[in-house]
Structure 1
Amino acid sequence: MSVSVAVAGASGYAGGELLRILSAHPEFDVRTVTAFSNAGQPLITTQPHLRSLAHLTLVETTAANLRGHDVVFLALPHGQSGAITEQLDADTLVVDCGADHRLVDQADWTAFYGGEYFGAWTYGLPELVLPGGRKQRDELVGTTRIAVPGCNVTAMTLGIAPGVAAGVVSADDLVAVLAVGPSGAGKKLANTYLASEIMGSASAYAVGGTHRHVPEVRQNLVAAGATDVRLSFTPVLVPMSRGILATTTARLLPGVSATDVRAAWERAYADEPFVHLLPEGEFPRVADTIGANTALVGIAVDEAAGRVVAISALDNLAKGTAGAAVQSTNLALGLPETLGLSMDGVAP
């Protein structure tokens, strides 16, 4: 099986990570890479680490250049993929790493993004727990349109959703603080992301419920079985190029023991190849997930506060974006879910 692939937005961070993973995938053949301002340049000038793809040249991001491939990956800024996807064939598998097709509620799109709403696609988080013991991976098989989750969303959802689905925590009083690397904002020149601004510092942003990932987390937890989701989410920019460490807490429901809590997460992730629950008393480090399609989760019960604390770590460009895209694509095409993906990070 040889699957022809095009990657739009190939000069950016997400596009580069997609290409890194795709280059080693045994069934995928990357034939076309596109960009906007970098069109016409050799790929290697914008992604010098991708030596195996040095033969490719960036072409303009148009529907015409993307047509004719079995799979099209879109790694474009929010609001730029919807118009292009409308022009692609219905039988082409299109995987959007941006936000344009994540939200099912048009009112949420208008409130947090604005602009034209292009509708929701099949959600690309295979490990999302659903009522009745199902997982989101069941919905991905055979689909031709996939919306890859936001990286912060993946970290928070994987951290707390098992407790919501099992009914051991309440979703109406969630607090999440995330340490995030600047690569999540994409490859753009802005003072906020200059090394001289972030080295030796940490700064909160999108405070007070304004971050665009808030409605997506709510959406996921409703899918997991919650009826009332209230989330206070504060991201903090820290000086690591990639990675997320999410600390999410939820109110423990009456009569639920610490044993019940741990059992909920163990049931959710016992058979998952890429989401690993750490032993009791252990908590994840971002460094152990870099370059891997792996999320690590540690949980604890704060008896005095009556809350469950879930700490999750992942690489925002790998499991948080490109790895999730390839994992979901494998499922859609009927390939082994783990094909071409590594659970091993790099160290030190």
Structure 2
Amino acid sequence: MADKIRIGVLGASGYTGADLVRLAARHPAMEIAVLTANSHAGKPMRDVFQHLSHIELPDLVTIEDAPWNEVDAVFCGLPHGTTQAITKEIFEKHPQTKIIDMSADFRLRDPAVYKEWYGLDHMATDIQGEAVYGLTELYRDAIREARLIACPGCYPTAVLLALVPLAKAAMIDASDIVIDAKSGVSGAGRSLKENTLFCEAGEGLSPYAVGKHRHMAEIEQEIGTAAGVPDLRVNFTPHLIPMSRGELCTSYVRLADGASARDLRHHLLETYAGEPFVTVADEDVLPRTQMVRGSNYVVVNVVPDRIPGRAIVISTLDNLVKGSAGQAIQNFNVAYGIDETTGIEQLPLFP
């Protein structure tokens, strides 16, 4: 492609930023022009991530020194609370630039809900209304026209792709959902935390943020919207599992009158027919993280519960790809009118 789209990556020294760079480096329509990482500014990217030493990349710079006027699209991989100010500045000073945010700062439509869950006043409420929730399969048409795309969290992506079609079709009781979720350690980010040390996380399984995980707000927002249930509440418990990447969510749902688990599965098959990255597994196949590792795929399936009137919906994805960087590139492709699968066609790694 003669005229490539120049991109910048905010927070390129994190796991999400690194996976974005890994995928973008082989994207035929992208040129990586700017990489920021304040704590590693001045270093070559290969010094921070040696697995990227095979390719030529710009050196890391501070956010303040980044030439945003030289990029067409910015991917934000910063922690929540740190994205808003720089996003607002880029949005206002560079009106031709598209922003694809992988943080949580623009996912929640109500700033009061954002403050409730994240403990911070939202500093960019004047552009919050411009943000489109970036779950590609559900908001593709809006993403095509958006300048600010708020990519979902990894847990919401897995849960919502499995449950939103069922809630929207009134096939399940949206007020009675129990979600058991498990994620690899990379979901906690690259900064040093005691609970992700090898001796703390290895050879064990541990729940965290029980009853208060911030991704609950996204899940409730989107399922509530689909079901027409304001102030929806779900039961969601995440667990840390000792592997680098991957995520599996098991959702227990109450069936609407007359619906069966087979009906739910058939509806998901109809919903995702033709979707490049969502696979409904064969009837007797249970989704496993090994089916999606390193890829942008999501695998879902529905199993009858032994309790009458209930079903179990299982979904799995790679938290760094479809759960973050891969979905961001999928949204980039949609926003720029590029074939949606470009740059993210990789099949899962196995074993």
What is the CA-CA distance between 1:223 and the residue it aligns to?
3.1
Looking at structure 2, the residues matched to 99 and 184 of structure 1 have their Cα atoms a distance apart, in angstroms, of 13
Report sequence identity in percent: 39
1:160 to 138, 160, 163: 163
| 2:99 maps to amino acid | V
Q: Does 1:16 align with 2:18?
A: yes
Task: Quote the residue 1:36 is aligned against.
Answer: 38
- Deviating runs (4+, > 6 A) in structure 1? none
Relative to structure 2, which stretch is displaced further, 194-203 or 64-73? Answer: 64-73
Q: Does 1:339 align with 2:342?
A: yes
Task: Quote the residue 2:178 is aligned against.
Answer: 175
Give per-residue Cα distances to partners, 1:32-53, cap 9 Å, x unaligned: 1110111111111111111344
Task: Quote the residue 1:100 is aligned against.
Answer: 105
Q: Tell me the SS of whatever aligns to 1:7.
A: strand
- Counterpart contact for 1:142–1:334, Cα < 8 Å: no
Looking at structure 2, the residues matched to 206 and 304 of structure 1 have their Cα atoms a distance apart, in angstroms, of 28
Task: Quote the residue 1:109 is aligned against.
Answer: 114
- Counterpart contact for 2:34–2:66, Cα < 8 Å: no
1:235 to 224, 238, 261: 238
Task: State how 1:81-100 maps to structure 2 within 5 Å.
Answer: 81-88=83-90, 89-100=94-105
| 1:4 maps to amino acid | R
Unaligned residue ranges in structure 1 (runs of 5+): 129-135
Task: Quote the residue 1:132 is aligned against.
Answer: none
Task: Quote the residue 1:133 is aligned against.
Answer: none
| 1:126 maps to amino acid | T
What is the CA-CA distance between 1:215 and the residue it aligns to?
0.9
What is the CA-CA distance between 1:63 and the residue it aligns to?
7.3
Task: Quote the residue 1:283 is aligned against.
Answer: 286
- Counterpart contact for 1:274–1:343, Cα < 8 Å: no
Task: Quote the residue 2:52 is aligned against.
Answer: 50
What is the CA-CA distance between 1:62 and the residue it aligns to?
2.6
Looking at structure 2, the residues matched to 242 and 176 of structure 1 have their Cα atoms a distance apart, in angstroms, of 19
Aligned residues: 340
- Counterpart contact for 2:174–2:227, Cα < 8 Å: no
Q: Tell me the SS of whatever aligns to 1:310.
A: strand
Task: Quote the residue 2:222 is aligned against.
Answer: 220
| 1:258 maps to amino acid | A
User: TM-score, normalization: structure 2?
Assistant: 0.93
| 2:266 maps to amino acid | A
Looking at structure 2, the residues matched to 63 and 253 of structure 1 have their Cα atoms a distance apart, in angstroms, of 55
Q: Tell me the SS of whatever aligns to 1:162.
A: helix
Q: Does 1:201 align with 2:211?
A: no
Task: State how 1:303-314 maps to structure 2 within 5 Å.
Answer: 303-314=306-317
Looking at structure 2, the residues matched to 342 and 105 of structure 1 have their Cα atoms a distance apart, in angstroms, of 35
Looking at structure 1, the residues matched to 64 and 224 of structure 2 have their Cα atoms a distance apart, in angstroms, of 36
Looking at structure 1, the residues matched to 7 and 188 of structure 2 have their Cα atoms a distance apart, in angstroms, of 25
| 2:167 maps to amino acid | V
What is the CA-CA distance between 1:343 and the residue it aligns to?
4.8
Looking at structure 2, the residues matched to 54 and 194 of structure 1 have their Cα atoms a distance apart, in angstroms, of 32
Cα distance 1:81–1:46, how it changes in 2: closer, same or farther (>3 A)? same
1:75 to 68, 74, 77: 77
User: TM-score, normalization: structure 1?
Assistant: 0.94
Looking at structure 2, the residues matched to 10 and 144 of structure 1 have their Cα atoms a distance apart, in angstroms, of 21
Q: Does 1:126 align with 2:136?
A: yes
- Counterpart contact for 2:132–2:143, Cα < 8 Å: yes
Task: Quote the residue 1:320 is aligned against.
Answer: 323
Q: Does 1:254 align with 2:264?
A: no
Give per-residue Cα distances to partners, 1:191-227, cap 9 Å, x unaligned: 100111111101100112x100011011111332331
Looking at structure 2, the residues matched to 40 and 100 of structure 1 have their Cα atoms a distance apart, in angstroms, of 27
Q: Tell me the SS of whatever aligns to 2:227.
A: coil
| 2:120 maps to amino acid | G
